Amino acid sequence: MFSIARKSALRQARTQLRLSQATPISQHSALARLLSTLAVLEQKDGKLNTSSLAAVTAGTKLGGSVTAFVAGSGVKSVADQTAKAQGIEKIIYVENGAYDRGLPENFAPLLVENIKKGGFTHVFAGHSAFGKNLMPRVAALLDTQQISDITAIESEDTFVRPIYAGNAILTVQSSDAIKILTVRGTAFPPPELEGGSAAVEEGVDPKAECQTEWVSEDLAKSDRPDLGSAERVVSGGRGLKSKEEFDRIMPPLADALGAAIGASRAAVDSGFADNSLQVGQTGKNVAPQLYLCAGISGAIQHLAGMKDSKVIAAINKDPEAPIFQVADVGLVGDLFDKVPELTEKLKVL
Amino acid sequence: MSGLRILVPIKRVLDYATKPRVNRTQTGIDLANAKHSMNPFDELSIEEAVRLRERKVPVAEILAFSAGPPKAQDVLRTAMAMGADRSIHVVVEERDALEPLGVAKLLKKVVEGEKSDLVILGKQSIDDDAAQTGQMLAGLLGWAQATQASSVSISAENMVTVTREVDGGVETLKAKLPMVITTDLRLNEPRYASLPNIMKAKKKLLEKKTLKDYGLDEKIRLKTVRVTEPPPRKGGVKVEDVDGMISKLKELGAL
């Protein structure tokens, strides 16, 4: 009895304390003045990777000022162009060819210097190969626990991210002074590239040494839209049986729809498709308007990468395939008949 | 050079084939009685270490390491059955689970204590999907890093060439040891531990330690506010034929 009374008295006191705090509005604006975001942009051969602008979008959603950061050779012009993107107040650029390949051994110290100099409270970067490679190193150097692949911002210290291959959604609150975050591109659409007028400023360059040497790259050439940002994606799985069949059946369908091509891990592992096309927990996350897949059973690792698509369509000969549980439109049938038929009929549309 | 001292950190996670269920209090995933196994990317790390030795790269020792609940010693036994020489288990109860930064700090101490010159980690663990520990460790040590490796070769001059998976393809890097490498699925096909090797692994050394032994007192930086189920997708329809599919897609505005 006594303990109950004590508890409720405590609760009452707490409630009163909460009520006596400043109103949420003034608190918010006070915070907004203090918040300052650094959005790390990616560039390649003097061209901005526009999907990295998702970091800017995240910054604008947070409130407070947004500064963008870009480094490499010839980045002054990248900065000048990007200055038109909406939501950016200032762009810091560091002109130095040593940063062209985004190697974290020298890029991380570079970022750390510029974060410290600018006194940023939040640093956002895309959860791309570049961001994944670089940002944890930056976080460790700043002694802060990074939050990866966020899909939403609840407040200046509380963020939402998928865990367990997207089977659970975690809301997490950070107590670190500087928040380092990577953002899921499909959850933060890039801003308009017109109408903005950011100031362009040169950043500090600590010229840290880089222990790794970049040797070469081999990028899959494609005239199709980029898988990560395509409006439509067609995706093939183990059901296609061979690389020859994959190459015979999927590209015409992609062309008919103006879609990017994706693949399941089974298709990639069997050598039907290039690894860069893999959709899923260990590959790319996509969220197109239309995700049309054929010969994919729908393992949880695959679903992790595509279940935020607006419309999912599936063709599979197994009526029990788990893909049908998430597909908006399902067709049970042999993909070797159905896909070419679909391709022909889409061409006439 | 007397041979490489390879450290392979591994993690015990909910088995990849198990569907995770959010607990009723929305504080986490129901892990009681669920099947656990070695994080799939960590199997690749062990395999790669063993293959380096088989490829006649001078390897002095392969040390498997895990920081986790008492049961994590099961995955260390598996690692030793696959070919690791010995292992260290830092017992950390589930409720005190370390964050990637804490693990990286712990690993830094292990690397220094064991004089490791190559650390091979998985690119991410399939439970928290953070993909941070390897990079953080490399940062703390000031070592070269190569993440998402799909091919690793080491020359006699301790020059490591790594091909790594990047968006749109692969890139190749070169660095001198010591370094940190994280594994991608394409790196190799992990072997199954044979019964005789499982028996032999029981005799290999498994040292138990605590965080105190490493003088580590890392505060948790991230507080779990809640864990929820993702919004379910609305059940769709099945159509009879291709025409049905096209008209349904039009109806949904996807065409």
B186-191 CB contacts, 8 Å cutoff, 24+ apart: B186/A275, B186/B150, B186/B151, B187/B44, B187/B47, B187/B48, B187/B149, B187/B150, B187/B151, B187/B152, B188/B44, B188/B47, B188/B48, B188/B51, B189/B47, B190/B43, B190/B44, B190/B46, B190/B47, B190/B82, B191/B47, B191/B50, B191/B82
CATH class held by domain A32-202: alpha beta
| Best CA proximity match to B132, nearest among A120, A180, A68 | A180
pLDDT of A26 reads 44
pLDDT value at residue A16: 53
Contact (CB, 8 A) for B106 and A142: no
Question: In angstroms, rounded to a whole number, what is the distance separating the alpha carbons of residues A213 and A215?
Answer: 6
Q: Which residues contact B94 (CB under 8 A, 6 or more apart)?
A: B31, B69
Lowest pLDDT segment from A277-286, B113-122, B219-228 = A277-286
Angle at the Cα of A333 from the Cα atoms of A332 and A338, rounded to 5 degrees? 120
Q: How far is A91 from A84, CA to CA, in rounded Å?
A: 10
The tokens 């002109």 sit on which residue? Answer: A95
Across the interface, whether the CB atoms of B138 and A104 are under 8 A apart is answered: yes
CA-nearest residue to B166 within chain A is A129
Between CA A187 and CA A51 the distance in angstroms is 11
| Three-state secondary structure of A223-263 | CCCCCCCCCEEEEECHHHCCHHHHHHHHHHHHHHHCCEEEE
Angle at B243 between CA B237 and CA B247, to 5 degrees: 60
Confidence (pLDDT) at A1: 44
DSSP letter for A120, please.
-
Quick one: tokens of A231? 């409006």
Q: In terms of CATH architecture, what is A232-347? A: 3-Layer(aba) Sandwich (3.40)
Output the pLDDT for position A30.
55
The residues, any chain, with a CB within 8 Å of residue A300's CB and separated by 6 or more, are: A165, A167, A281, B19
pLDDT per 10-residue tile (average), chain A, 349 residues = 50 52 48 83 94 96 96 96 96 97 97 97 97 98 98 97 95 98 94 94 96 93 86 97 97 96 95 93 92 96 94 97 96 97 94
pLDDT at B168: 82
Among candidate residues B29, B65, B46, B60, the one with its CA nearest the CA of residue B197? B46
Q: Is B137 helix (H, G, I), strand (E, B) or coil?
A: helix
- Residue contact B233–A216, C-beta within 8 A: no
- Residue numbers of the domain that contains B54: 4-251
C-alpha dihedral sign at A49, A52, A54, A55: negative
Q: Is the pLDDT of residue B78 over 80?
A: yes
- Residue among A259, A323, A330, A333 at smallest CA distance from A296: A323
What are the tokens at A154?
């609840």
Q: Side chain identity at A144, as an amino acid letter?
A: T
C-alpha A263/C-alpha B73 separation (Å) is 36
| Residue-wise pLDDT tens digits, B124-164 | 999 999 999 999 999 999 999 999 999 999 998 999 999 99
**Whole-number pLDDT of residue A29:** 53
- Compute the Cα dihedral for A273, A127, A186, A218 and give only its sign: negative
Question: So what's the pLDDT on residue A136?
Answer: 98
Residues 292-331 of A with CB under 8 A from B: 300-301, 307, 310-313, 315, 319, 324-331
CA dist B60 → A294, B3, B7, B57, B180 (Å) = 48, 5, 11, 10, 17
Report whether B19 contacts A167 (CB < 8 A). yes
Report the residue of chain B nearest A176, measured CA to CA.
B221
Asked if the Cβ–Cβ distance from B101 to A163 is below 8 Å, we say no
A220 contacts on B by Cβ (under 8 Å): 168-169
Beta carbons of A342 and B242 less than 8 Å apart: yes
A137 contacts on B by Cβ (under 8 Å): 135-136, 138-139, 145
A103 contacts B243? CB cut-off 8 A: no
**Number of Cα atoms under 13 Å in the Cβ half of residue B224:** 18
Residue B40 has which token pair?
Answer: 């799939």
Residue B122's CATH number: 3.40.50.620
Q: Determine the distance in angstroms separating the CA of A175 from the nearest CA of chain B, rounded to an integer.
A: 5
Closest among A283, A275, A277, A310 to A299, alpha carbons compared: A283
Sequence ranges of the domains in chain A: 32-202, 232-347
Strand order in the sheet with A168-174: A152-155, A158-163, A168-174, B222-228
> Measured between beta carbons, which residues in chain B are less than 8 angstroms from residue A167?
19-20, 229-230
Measured in whole angstroms, the distance separating CA B127 from the mean position of its chain's CA atoms is 10
Q: In whole angstroms, what is the distance from residue A78 CA to residue A80 CA?
A: 5
Name every residue whose Cβ is closer than 8 Å to that of residue B70 and which is 6 or more positions away in sequence.
B91
What whole-number distance in Å separates Cα of residue B199 and Cα of residue B220? 38
Residue-wise pLDDT tens digits, A58-88: 999 999 999 999 999 999 999 999 999 999 9
A217 DSSP assignment: E
Backbone angles phi, psi at A246, to 5 degrees: -60, -50
Residue pLDDT, tens place only, B226-254: 999 998 887 789 999 999 999 999 999 99
- CA angle in degrees (0–180, nearest 5) for A305-A175-A64: 75
Residue type, B188: N
What does the block give as tokens for A108?
């991380």
φ, ψ (nearest 5 deg) of residue B238: -105, 140
* A82 exposure class (CB count in 10 Å sphere: 0-12, 13-18, 19+): buried
Q: SS3 of A132, please?
A: helix
Asked if A145 and B221 count as a contact pair (C-beta separation under 8 A), the reply is yes
Domain count, chain B: 1
Question: How far is B153 from chain A, CA to nearest CA, in Å?
Answer: 14
Please report, for residues A89, A112, A257, A296, the alpha-carbon distance to residue A333 in angstroms, rounded to integers and kept in the order given: 54, 55, 20, 12
Terminal C-alpha separation, chain B: 63
